[in-house]
Amino acid sequence: MKVLYLVIPCYNEEEVIIDTALVLTKKMNTLIKAGTISKTSKIMFVNDGSDDNTWNIIKKLHNENNLISGLNLSRNRGHQNALLAGLLTSNKYADITISMDADLQDDINVIDKMLLENEKGFDIVYGVRSKRKKDRFFKKHTAQFFYKLMRFLGVDIIYNHADCRLMNKRSIKALEEFSEVNLFLRGMIPLIGFNNTVVYYEREKRLKGESKYPLSKMLSFAIDGITSFSVKPLRLIFSLGLIILIISIGIMIYSLIVKLLGKTIEGWTFIIISIWFIGGVLMLSIGIIGEYIGKIYSETKRRPRYIIESILDSNEG
């Protein structure tokens, strides 16, 4: 039987983590009794530098429940880094790892579907949302626009897939070879290749608490994804500059002709609009280029993506 680790990144999840542990423990016990997974399988909660009582609750759950494992990062490093820390650490003990959110929005029954696909020989199994009926209008349409934009920019991304996925030992080992600091796992993991498939599930509403991904974080995450996997924005800047250059040459020729014909040009409004338009385009272009330069800057420093402060796991050692 294979050893399964569930990796659950947590940031300020004190309101929901006990309920999450109860639900996942019940699911794991069912799988163990059925002989589907090994008795040494675990639920690994990854504390991403929470400033509430999350880590203390994880420690208490670990002492009371032999299925609960804990990983504590030294400071908040963001969801993607916390998830990667959990994947790489659990891979020391597990044959297969499934990552899920701590808010129980991912349907836990998708675990059974993923395990069945893994038994068929698939190294990576992506959990894909079958529909978005429970999303608010704004989130639903912005999310769909993001996936379409990423595809347009040439990024190999699974449509409507977040971070609910199964990975086996060799696929996580391959993921470890990717050394970039700016993480966007939804784009990185498809680059691994290997045998992969998708399973569908319906995402539920958050059980308790508030989302840790407000609009500002979602925008930052989207920008990270685009700038980490596509240079098309830079090429679009070049194309836009070329178009503006052609237009300006046309305006220059027109102005010279009008001047030679002795006609007065009433061009104040046009000039002001042109200056503001070109100034806006230049500032936007500098901002996009700055994002790429910032990425290069952080990558060249080679700072650690995360630092593990402590591990609570009965399989350790």
Please tell me the predicted confidence (pLDDT) of residue 128.
86
Token look-up 């930052």 returns 220
13, 14, 20, 25 alpha-carbon torsion, rounded to 10°: 120
Residues 28/21, Cβ–Cβ less than 8 Å? no
Residue 86 Cα to chain centre, angstroms: 14
Please tell me the predicted confidence (pLDDT) of residue 230.
66
Please tell me the predicted confidence (pLDDT) of residue 171.
93
Please tell me the predicted confidence (pLDDT) of residue 79.
87
Please tell me the predicted confidence (pLDDT) of residue 87.
94
Please tell me the predicted confidence (pLDDT) of residue 273.
66
- Give the CATH number of domain 4-214+305-312: 3.90.550.10
Separation CA 317–CA 315 (nearest Å)? 6
Using DSSP, state whether 64 is helix, strand or coil.
helix
pTM: 0.74
Please tell me the predicted confidence (pLDDT) of residue 58.
94
Which amino acid, 126? Y
Using 70 as the pLDDT threshold, list the residues of the chain that sit under it: 132-144, 146-147, 153-154, 205-231, 252, 255-256, 258-259, 262-270, 272-273, 276, 299, 316-317
Separation CA 226–CA 146 (nearest Å)? 9
Please tell me the predicted confidence (pLDDT) of residue 227.
66
Burial class (CB in 10 A: 0-12, 13-18, 19+), 147: middle
The domain locations on the chain are 4-214+305-312, 232-301
Please tell me the predicted confidence (pLDDT) of residue 242.
75
Please tell me the predicted confidence (pLDDT) of residue 236.
76
Please tell me the predicted confidence (pLDDT) of residue 22.
93
